[in-house]
Protein backbone atom coordinates (compact mmCIF):
# COMPACT_ATOMS: atom_id res chain seq x y z
CA UNK A 1 0.00 0.00 0.00
CA UNK A 2 2.79 2.39 0.91
CA UNK A 3 4.60 1.58 -2.29
CA UNK A 4 1.56 2.49 -4.34
CA UNK A 5 1.16 5.82 -2.51
CA UNK A 6 4.80 6.69 -3.08
CA UNK A 7 4.51 5.85 -6.77
CA UNK A 8 1.39 7.96 -7.09
CA UNK A 9 3.08 10.88 -5.31
CA UNK A 10 6.05 10.75 -7.67
CA UNK A 11 3.73 10.77 -10.68
CA UNK A 12 1.85 13.81 -9.39
CA UNK A 13 5.13 15.63 -8.68
CA UNK A 14 6.45 14.93 -12.16
CA UNK A 15 3.22 16.20 -13.67
CA UNK A 16 3.46 19.40 -11.60
CA UNK A 17 7.05 20.05 -12.68
CA UNK A 18 6.12 19.45 -16.29
CA UNK A 19 3.32 22.03 -16.09
CA UNK A 20 5.67 24.59 -14.54
CA UNK A 21 8.28 24.06 -17.25
CA UNK A 22 5.64 24.57 -19.94
CA UNK A 23 4.32 27.79 -18.36
CA UNK A 24 7.80 29.36 -17.98
CA UNK A 25 8.50 30.05 -21.72
CA UNK A 26 4.99 31.43 -22.14
CA UNK A 27 5.64 33.99 -19.41
CA UNK A 28 9.00 34.97 -20.91
CA UNK A 29 7.53 35.51 -24.40
CA UNK A 30 4.55 37.48 -23.16
CA UNK A 31 4.67 41.13 -24.45
CA UNK A 32 3.73 43.63 -21.83
CA UNK A 33 3.42 47.41 -22.19
CA UNK A 34 6.76 49.14 -21.76
CA UNK A 35 8.78 46.00 -22.48
CA UNK A 36 11.80 45.89 -24.78
CA UNK A 37 9.80 44.18 -27.54
CA UNK A 38 7.20 46.94 -27.54
CA UNK A 39 10.00 49.49 -27.81
CA UNK A 40 11.45 47.52 -30.71
CA UNK A 41 8.14 47.59 -32.56
CA UNK A 42 7.83 51.33 -31.97
CA UNK A 43 11.34 51.86 -33.34
CA UNK A 44 10.55 49.91 -36.50
CA UNK A 45 7.34 51.87 -37.00
CA UNK A 46 9.24 55.12 -36.54
CA UNK A 47 11.92 53.92 -38.94
CA UNK A 48 9.33 53.08 -41.58
CA UNK A 49 7.68 56.47 -41.12
CA UNK A 50 11.04 58.20 -41.42
CA UNK A 51 11.77 56.24 -44.59
CA UNK A 52 8.49 57.35 -46.11
CA UNK A 53 9.22 60.99 -45.24
CA UNK A 54 12.73 60.68 -46.65
CA UNK A 55 11.31 59.13 -49.81
CA UNK A 56 8.89 62.00 -50.20
CA UNK A 57 11.72 64.50 -49.73
CA UNK A 58 13.82 62.66 -52.28
CA UNK A 59 10.92 62.67 -54.75
CA UNK A 60 10.49 66.40 -54.26
CA UNK A 61 14.20 66.91 -54.67
CA UNK A 62 14.14 64.92 -57.91
CA UNK A 63 11.23 66.85 -59.36
CA UNK A 64 12.40 70.32 -58.33
CA UNK A 65 15.99 71.38 -57.67
CA UNK A 66 16.79 72.95 -54.34
CA UNK A 67 19.28 75.58 -53.27
CA UNK A 68 21.29 77.45 -55.86
CA UNK A 69 19.98 75.40 -58.79
CA UNK A 70 16.41 76.37 -57.97
CA UNK A 71 17.37 80.06 -58.04
CA UNK A 72 19.09 79.98 -61.44
CA UNK A 73 15.95 80.60 -63.58
CA UNK A 74 14.87 83.48 -61.36
CA UNK A 75 18.40 84.89 -61.40
CA UNK A 76 18.52 84.72 -65.20
CA UNK A 77 15.14 86.44 -65.40
CA UNK A 78 16.30 89.23 -63.08
CA UNK A 79 19.47 89.67 -65.12
CA UNK A 80 17.60 89.86 -68.44
CA UNK A 81 15.14 92.35 -66.96
CA UNK A 82 18.02 94.47 -65.64
CA UNK A 83 19.41 94.58 -69.18
CA UNK A 84 15.97 95.48 -70.49
CA UNK A 85 15.65 98.40 -68.08
CA UNK A 86 19.11 99.60 -69.06
CA UNK A 87 18.18 99.56 -72.76
CA UNK A 88 15.07 101.63 -72.02
CA UNK A 89 16.95 104.19 -69.95
CA UNK A 90 19.88 104.42 -72.39
CA UNK A 91 17.50 104.89 -75.32
CA UNK A 92 15.82 107.75 -73.45
CA UNK A 93 19.22 109.42 -73.03
CA UNK A 94 20.18 108.95 -76.69
CA UNK A 95 16.78 110.28 -77.80
CA UNK A 96 17.60 113.64 -76.18
CA UNK A 97 20.60 114.12 -78.46
CA UNK A 98 19.99 117.03 -80.89
CA UNK A 99 20.89 114.98 -83.98
CA UNK A 100 18.99 111.86 -82.93
CA UNK A 101 16.58 110.51 -85.53
CA UNK A 102 13.77 108.00 -85.08
CA UNK A 103 15.88 105.06 -83.88
CA UNK A 104 16.46 105.91 -80.17
CA UNK A 105 12.83 107.02 -79.52
CA UNK A 106 11.49 103.87 -81.18
CA UNK A 107 13.86 101.70 -79.14
CA UNK A 108 12.73 103.48 -75.98
CA UNK A 109 9.04 102.92 -76.71
CA UNK A 110 9.36 99.27 -77.73
CA UNK A 111 11.77 98.39 -74.93
CA UNK A 112 9.53 100.12 -72.39
CA UNK A 113 6.53 98.14 -73.64
CA UNK A 114 8.44 94.86 -73.38
CA UNK A 115 9.64 95.86 -69.93
CA UNK A 116 6.04 96.26 -68.76
CA UNK A 117 5.35 92.75 -70.07
CA UNK A 118 8.33 91.38 -68.07
CA UNK A 119 10.14 90.37 -71.25
CA UNK A 120 13.91 90.62 -70.87
CA UNK A 121 16.65 90.86 -73.44
CA UNK A 122 19.70 88.73 -74.09
CA UNK A 123 23.24 89.88 -73.44
CA UNK A 124 24.23 90.14 -77.11
CA UNK A 125 20.98 91.88 -78.09
CA UNK A 126 21.50 94.39 -75.29
CA UNK A 127 25.05 95.10 -76.43
CA UNK A 128 23.99 95.31 -80.07
CA UNK A 129 21.24 97.86 -79.45
CA UNK A 130 23.46 100.03 -77.24
CA UNK A 131 26.26 99.89 -79.83
CA UNK A 132 23.79 100.89 -82.56
CA UNK A 133 22.71 104.01 -80.68
CA UNK A 134 26.31 104.95 -79.90
CA UNK A 135 27.29 104.42 -83.54
CA UNK A 136 24.40 106.50 -84.83
CA UNK A 137 25.35 109.35 -82.52
CA UNK A 138 29.04 109.23 -83.45
CA UNK A 139 28.36 108.72 -87.16
CA UNK A 140 30.01 105.29 -87.37
CA UNK A 141 26.72 103.41 -87.87
CA UNK A 142 23.87 103.80 -90.34
CA UNK A 143 20.18 103.20 -89.72
CA UNK A 144 20.28 100.39 -92.26
CA UNK A 145 23.18 98.76 -90.46
CA UNK A 146 21.47 99.17 -87.08
CA UNK A 147 18.36 97.35 -88.29
CA UNK A 148 20.47 94.60 -89.84
CA UNK A 149 22.28 94.07 -86.52
CA UNK A 150 18.98 93.79 -84.62
CA UNK A 151 17.48 91.47 -87.22
CA UNK A 152 20.46 89.12 -87.03
CA UNK A 153 20.70 89.14 -83.21
CA UNK A 154 16.98 88.68 -82.59
CA UNK A 155 16.91 85.88 -85.14
CA UNK A 156 19.64 84.00 -83.27
CA UNK A 157 17.84 84.57 -79.97
CA UNK A 158 14.60 83.24 -81.45
CA UNK A 159 16.33 80.02 -82.53
CA UNK A 160 17.84 79.51 -79.08
CA UNK A 161 14.50 80.12 -77.36
CA UNK A 162 12.84 77.57 -79.65
CA UNK A 163 15.53 75.02 -78.77
CA UNK A 164 15.00 75.71 -75.06
CA UNK A 165 11.23 75.27 -75.36
CA UNK A 166 10.52 78.95 -74.63
CA UNK A 167 7.96 79.39 -77.38
CA UNK A 168 6.61 82.76 -76.30
CA UNK A 169 10.04 84.40 -76.14
CA UNK A 170 10.96 82.75 -79.43
CA UNK A 171 7.93 84.29 -81.14
CA UNK A 172 8.68 87.73 -79.68
CA UNK A 173 12.27 87.64 -80.92
CA UNK A 174 11.19 86.26 -84.30
CA UNK A 175 8.76 89.16 -84.76
CA UNK A 176 11.51 91.60 -83.79
CA UNK A 177 13.86 90.03 -86.31
CA UNK A 178 11.30 90.28 -89.11
CA UNK A 179 10.40 93.90 -88.32
CA UNK A 180 14.03 94.97 -88.32
CA UNK A 181 14.66 93.01 -91.51
CA UNK A 182 11.90 94.93 -93.27
CA UNK A 183 13.10 98.23 -91.77
CA UNK A 184 16.60 97.59 -93.10
CA UNK A 185 15.16 97.65 -96.62
CA UNK A 186 12.72 100.55 -96.21
CA UNK A 187 12.91 103.04 -93.35
CA UNK A 188 16.63 102.64 -92.71
CA UNK A 189 17.85 103.35 -96.26
CA UNK A 190 15.40 106.24 -96.60
CA UNK A 191 16.81 107.99 -93.53
CA UNK A 192 20.38 107.19 -94.51
CA UNK A 193 19.84 108.70 -97.95
CA UNK A 194 18.24 111.79 -96.46
CA UNK A 195 21.17 112.21 -94.07
CA UNK A 196 23.67 111.84 -96.90
CA UNK A 197 21.74 114.16 -99.21
CA UNK A 198 21.67 116.88 -96.55
CA UNK A 199 25.30 116.37 -95.59
CA UNK A 200 27.65 119.34 -95.69
CA UNK A 201 30.21 117.10 -97.35
CA UNK A 202 29.76 117.43 -101.15
CA UNK A 203 31.33 114.06 -101.83
CA UNK A 204 28.94 112.31 -99.45
CA UNK A 205 25.94 114.01 -101.06
CA UNK A 206 27.22 113.09 -104.51
CA UNK A 207 27.65 109.45 -103.48
CA UNK A 208 24.09 109.44 -102.16
CA UNK A 209 22.65 110.62 -105.47
CA UNK A 210 24.94 108.30 -107.38
CA UNK A 211 23.70 105.35 -105.34
CA UNK A 212 20.12 106.11 -106.39
CA UNK A 213 21.14 106.28 -110.04
CA UNK A 214 23.08 103.04 -109.68
CA UNK A 215 20.12 101.30 -108.07
CA UNK A 216 17.76 102.36 -110.84
CA UNK A 217 20.25 101.32 -113.51
CA UNK A 218 20.19 97.77 -112.14
CA UNK A 219 16.44 97.46 -112.72
CA UNK A 220 15.38 95.58 -115.87
CA UNK A 221 14.22 97.73 -118.76
CA UNK A 222 10.43 97.72 -119.24
CA UNK A 223 10.85 97.70 -123.04
CA UNK A 224 13.14 95.43 -125.02
CA UNK A 225 16.22 97.07 -126.42
CA UNK A 226 17.39 96.68 -130.01
182 CB neighbour count, 10 Å cutoff: 13
Instruction: Flag whether pLDDT at 105 surpasses 70.
Output: yes
pLDDT (tens digit per residue) in 131-149: 999 999 998 999 999 999 9
Cα–Cα dist 80/160, whole Å: 15
pTM over 0.85: no
SS3 helix, strand, coil % of the chain, rounded to 5? Answer: 80, 0, 20
pLDDT (tens digit per residue) in 25-53: 444 444 444 444 444 444 445 444 444 54
* Selection from 224, 114, 99, 214 nearest residue 173 by Cα: 114
Instruction: Flag whether pLDDT at 163 surpasses 90.
Output: yes
Residue 153: phi and psi, rounded to 5, are -70, -45
Residue 212: phi and psi, rounded to 5, are -65, -45
Amino acid sequence: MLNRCALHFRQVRCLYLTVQLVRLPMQVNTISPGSAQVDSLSFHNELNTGSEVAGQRQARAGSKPEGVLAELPALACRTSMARRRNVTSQAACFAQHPEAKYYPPVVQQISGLLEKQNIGISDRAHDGVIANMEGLRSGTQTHTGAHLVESRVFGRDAIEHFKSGETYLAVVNCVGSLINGVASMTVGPAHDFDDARRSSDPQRAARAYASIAWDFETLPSPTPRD
